[in-house]
Structure 1
Amino acid sequence: MDERGSESGRVPAFFIALLSLLTLAVLYAPRYERARLAAAVVPQATPIMPAAEVWLSTADRKLKLAPQPDVPMTPRGTAPADITIDIDARYQTIAGFGAAMTDASAWLIRNRLTEAQRQALLRELYGPPPNLNFNMMRLTIGASDFSLNLYTLDDIPFGQADPQLKYFNVAFNLPDLIPTVRDILAIHPELLIVASPWSAPAWMKDSQNLIGGELLEEHEGAYADYLIKYLDTYRSHGIPIFALTLQNEPNYSPISYPGMLMGAETRARIISKYLGPKLAHRTPKVSILDWDHNWSHPEQPLAVLANPAAARYVDGVAWHCYEGSQHAQGRVQREHPDKDAYITECSGGDWSLNMNGELLWFARNLLVTGTRQWARGVIYWNLALDENHGPHFGGCTLCNGVITIDSGTGAVTRTDEYYALAHFSRFVLPGAVRVRSTDTDADKGIANVAFQNATDGSIVLVMVNVKTTARRVSVVQGDARVEYTMPPESVATLVWNPDLAGMWIRRAYRWWSGKPLPWRIGDPKTLPP
């Protein structure tokens, strides 16, 4: 074929190709136009970010555990933060929070409230969230200073003895205390009860009196049997006891209510020779807690734990808040990391130094610092008292309950201590683990403690601003950052789910940058500098 013939063959092929392209354009133009118009009309979606839920209380009582607008979470970034939470650094497991059901508290609840009021109040205090979810309680074995009269569970005429405990009985507890505790167990069957005696029966003591004196060594075995009989009798009434202490405040001898001195040597001897062996094989287990007195004398429980024969039976140490530093708990825990710590008594009151209320003190000093110093549980003193700080038999005349029940009308008032405890008990569920968080109390004026719930993995951060000015606080955990301004003199509980937060943070970062997040949740080796 010559050159001219070759050129004429290319022309039809060109027009055929052009015609094909025009046909395709006609067919697909409407689709392209619709897609272009849709893109012009529908804006680019903004990624949905997770948020931290917030509940707030203020010392001026204008806000009381009030829900606040959620605080949005953002990518962690490289900026420094005030508080870094590391959920891989895990400490003690939390047993719970609560208050003592003293004779006074039980009497008020039973005799100053109607049945409907009583059930509503107990559900509020012990029901699951959004109720307070109290999970712990303390009971007195016999009378305390918050009883209507003096008694033990084996009172006999002066000059007689009852080593076989033939006259043991719980008659004083049958009208009010036992029915009230049973009502609570019906609401919260997993309630953990710690029981403590204020005095041995008078016939066991050198003073032959419930007030003052010490336990006679010849009756130490009978005293252990007395405590065990209490456990058995209460169980027969449907009330299991979780833990037992030998003596309330054994380093103090009160002059107006039942009490008894009991030194470390005596406690170690009773535990190692009598109580420990007799409880060792019981099912379910009843824990023995030593001390049950103030932070100011850590040498006391350390002396008992230094006795190997006693230490093998001791499960932990019970602490009171009235003297000394919470760091005593940490000292004992460092020396005996296999022993638990519990705060088993702390009371607020209308003291002259506390005219501005006690929300901040209890939230910061007792609950935040107490749990940072290894407490697995915190039990306030009286659950309920009346408008006259009673009824009581000697002892504290200005103590507050978690609630106040008006002895005339039955009206219930919730105290500062109620809200301080609620910031923990409603959100930090039994089985939660305390996790590492930066201590910002000294430099920032913001006390804080963090936990991770076992049930859903949620993070709970409680912060206390004791300053009279607002404080901006930045918090990072995993991939997420939270910025929150604490109002003056306030307590805030923040709750979020780290898995959900991490998912949305990763999506948001990829949407914004087109790149994967440059670090991984929970891996400190990949965190930005």
Structure 2
Amino acid sequence: MQIIISTSQAPWVEGECRPVDSAAEVKASGTVTSDFRGFGACFNELSWIALQAVDERSRESMIDKVFSPRGLDLHYNRLPIGASDFAESWYSHNETEGDFAMEHFSIEHDHVHLLPYFQAARRAHGRDFTLFASPWSPPTWLKDHKAYNFGRLVWKDEYRKAHALYLAKFVEAYKELGIGIDAVHVQNEPDSDQKFPSCCWTGERLRDFIRDDLGPIFEARGVDAQIWLGTIERASFNDWVAPTLLDPEARRRIGGAGFQWAGKNGVQRTRHAAPDLPLIMTENECGDGDNTWDYAHYVFDLAQHFLNNGVQAYVYWNVVLERGGISTWGWRQNSMFCVDTETGELIDNPEYHLMRHLAGFVREGAAVLQTTGRWASNAIMFRNADGSHVAVLQNPLNEECEVRVEISNTVWSAVLPPKSFATLTDRA
């Protein structure tokens, strides 16, 4: 049984565990989900811009570590539709006011920073990704105050249908490039009236738009992307999910629901209300740009919560940013890697090593297993399709702990250093 341990002093140390004749303190007791779709991240412009400050060899090495099957194998990934809050500048794919037929729709802007990043990642991965996409803001002229930040979609029929057409044409434009969009999430954080690109909705408006506008337009045009209710954040189940789930026609139109990091309560209740509805975690919490080991432990807690409540994919946010992780609107955020733009140095951060534990040994089609025992809240367990097992453990304490883990009907002893992560696996 292989064990890998990470601490702030030694981020990746490999060893072997010994079997013991004693009761396990954590073991699998059932299946949370039998069809785990994988881990991923979001493609944002500021990541690719940061990577231009490092030499080509280092850039390719980092992309290989993150996206290739030899590395983290991140393959359930996200694209923004228009500008995200980590775009170089704010834009949409059609700023021609009054163009309700979307005749001037264009993804030309994406060819500068977004598509080169995506294509480099896809080359490293070696096959197509699973991709979902979401807008941060509709075109400004479709909103009630004609700006990327703040505001709402003008709630008139021609505006609603124009926005639905806008989303359909995005999927079609990417398909022409040989890039399949598997799902469109209606709005990034629909409860956030922010100074960065954003647009506020209500649960009822999401329901009506999906049922009466987006679903029919996708169907009429033969758009082969699913529609998902998402990405839900900071919102109650009753306000944001129930309106769509309890409406038969709206429910028929959606392929799943996606929750940002602050949607912790919503994911639990949605799983309970609709156990057959696919759920994913759409964005890992952003942090503050300090990239500490303590924050990596917080991210483990977040991942443990979502995975043990039935999400079928877990999506990180920015893979790489300039040192300090500052956005174009002034918010510092964490990333797996950061770039010192003065020296060209590429630095791996604690959350990269945590993602090595979470994603490095788990493959698409794995089962997420329920855990029991006194260490259950600090463990995430998987069974891969090939029958191999993976147990990711956290020691949140400031002292060394011995943990007994049952895998493949054998109990293994693992000694975990203070404030550490560990992976036990029988995967070859």
* Alignment TM class, shorter chain as reference: over 0.9
Aligned match of 1:366: 302
1:275 aligns with 2:275: no
Indicate if the aligned counterparts of 1:447 and 1:463 stay in contact, CA closer than 8 A: yes
Structure 1 residue 357, shift from structure 2 partner = 3.4
* CA distance in 2 between partners of 1:134 and 1:210 (Å): 30
Percent of aligned pairs sharing the same letter: 25
* CA distance in 2 between partners of 1:334 and 1:82 (Å): 27
1:342 aligns with 2:280: yes
**Gap change, CA 1:65 and 1:135, over 3 Å in 2:** farther
Aligned match of 2:6: 57
For residue 124 of structure 1, the aligned residue among 52, 57, 65 is 65
* CA distance in 1 between partners of 2:6 and 2:23 (Å): 27
Alignment of 1:213-292 (within 5 A): 213-218=151-156, 219-254=159-194, 256-280=195-219, 285-292=224-231
* CA distance in 2 between partners of 1:150 and 1:90 (Å): 40
Indicate if the aligned counterparts of 1:439 and 1:447 stay in contact, CA closer than 8 A: no
1:309 aligns with 2:309: no
* CA distance in 1 between partners of 2:182 and 2:344 (Å): 31
For residue 172 of structure 1, the aligned residue among 80, 85, 109 is 109
* CA distance in 1 between partners of 2:217 and 2:245 (Å): 19
Structure 1 residue 54, shift from structure 2 partner = 0.7
Structure 1 residue 166, shift from structure 2 partner = 1.2
Structure 2 residues without counterparts, runs of 5 or longer: none
Indicate if the aligned counterparts of 1:348 and 1:358 stay in contact, CA closer than 8 A: no
Return the letter of the residue paired with 2:53.
Answer: R
Structure 1 residue 90, shift from structure 2 partner = 5.5
Partner SS state of residue 200, structure 1: coil
Deviations 1:430-484 (A, max 9, x none): 111112321535xx8x611211000x21010111111112222222245311121
Indicate if the aligned counterparts of 1:56 and 1:64 stay in contact, CA closer than 8 A: yes
Aligned match of 1:149: 89
For residue 119 of structure 2, the aligned residue among 163, 170, 182 is 182
Aligned match of 1:393: 328
For residue 84 of structure 1, the aligned residue among 27, 32, 46 is 27
Return the letter of the residue paired with 1:302.
Answer: A
RMSD: 2.3
Deviations 1:12-62 (A, max 9, x none): xxxxxxxxxxxxxxxxxxxxxxxxxxxxxxxxxxxxxxxx1111112xx11
- The farther-off stretch of 172-181 and 340-349 is 340-349
- The farther-off stretch of 186-195 and 416-425 is 186-195
Aligned match of 2:398: 468
Aligned match of 1:70: 16
Structure 1 residue 197, shift from structure 2 partner = 0.4
Normalised TM-score (structure 1): 0.75
Structure 1 residue 351, shift from structure 2 partner = 6.8
* CA distance in 2 between partners of 1:480 and 1:327 (Å): 35
Indicate if the aligned counterparts of 1:440 and 1:448 stay in contact, CA closer than 8 A: no
**Gap change, CA 1:145 and 1:70, over 3 Å in 2:** same
Alignment of 1:373-412 (within 5 A): 373-390=309-326, 392-394=327-329, 397-412=331-346
* CA distance in 1 between partners of 2:23 and 2:380 (Å): 19
Partner SS state of residue 253, structure 2: coil
For residue 379 of structure 2, the aligned residue among 433, 445, 448 is 448
Return the letter of the residue paired with 2:45.
Answer: D
**Gap change, CA 1:477 and 1:147, over 3 Å in 2:** closer
Structure 1 residue 181, shift from structure 2 partner = 0.8
Return the letter of the residue paired with 1:239.
Answer: I
* CA distance in 1 between partners of 2:247 and 2:305 (Å): 29
Return the letter of the residue paired with 1:298.
Answer: F
**Gap change, CA 1:307 and 1:182, over 3 Å in 2:** same
* CA distance in 1 between partners of 2:207 and 2:188 (Å): 15
Return the letter of the residue paired with 2:388.
Answer: S
* CA distance in 2 between partners of 1:463 and 1:355 (Å): 18
Structure 1 residue 282, shift from structure 2 partner = 8.1
- The farther-off stretch of 415-424 and 472-481 is 472-481
Aligned match of 2:416: 486
**Gap change, CA 1:284 and 1:184, over 3 Å in 2:** farther
Deviations 1:478-518 (A, max 9, x none): 53111212221111111026xx9xxxxxxxxxxxxxxxxxx
Deviations 1:340-364 (A, max 9, x none): 1111112343378x8653221112x
Structure 1 residues without counterparts, runs of 5 or longer: 1-51, 501-529
Deviations 1:401-442 (A, max 9, x none): 22102223332111121111111111111111112321535x
The number of aligned residues is 424
* CA distance in 1 between partners of 2:121 and 2:408 (Å): 39
For residue 94 of structure 1, the aligned residue among 24, 29, 36 is 36
* CA distance in 2 between partners of 1:439 and 1:203 (Å): 55
Bigger Rg, structure 1 or 2 = 1
- The farther-off stretch of 302-311 and 457-466 is 302-311
The structure in which a higher percent of residues are helix is 1
Structure 1 residue 226, shift from structure 2 partner = 0.4
**Gap change, CA 1:351 and 1:142, over 3 Å in 2:** closer
Indicate if the aligned counterparts of 1:347 and 1:381 stay in contact, CA closer than 8 A: yes
Partner SS state of residue 164, structure 1: coil
**Gap change, CA 1:336 and 1:425, over 3 Å in 2:** same
Return the letter of the residue paired with 1:272.
Answer: R
* CA distance in 1 between partners of 2:426 and 2:198 (Å): 46
For residue 350 of structure 2, the aligned residue among 416, 426, 430 is 416
Alignment of 1:93-112 (within 5 A): 93-109=35-51, 111-112=52-53
Of structures 1 and 2, the one with the larger relative CO (CA 8 A, separation 6+) is 2
Structure 1 residue 280, shift from structure 2 partner = 4.8
* CA distance in 2 between partners of 1:434 and 1:388 (Å): 34
Partner SS state of residue 17, structure 2: strand
**Gap change, CA 1:336 and 1:281, over 3 Å in 2:** farther
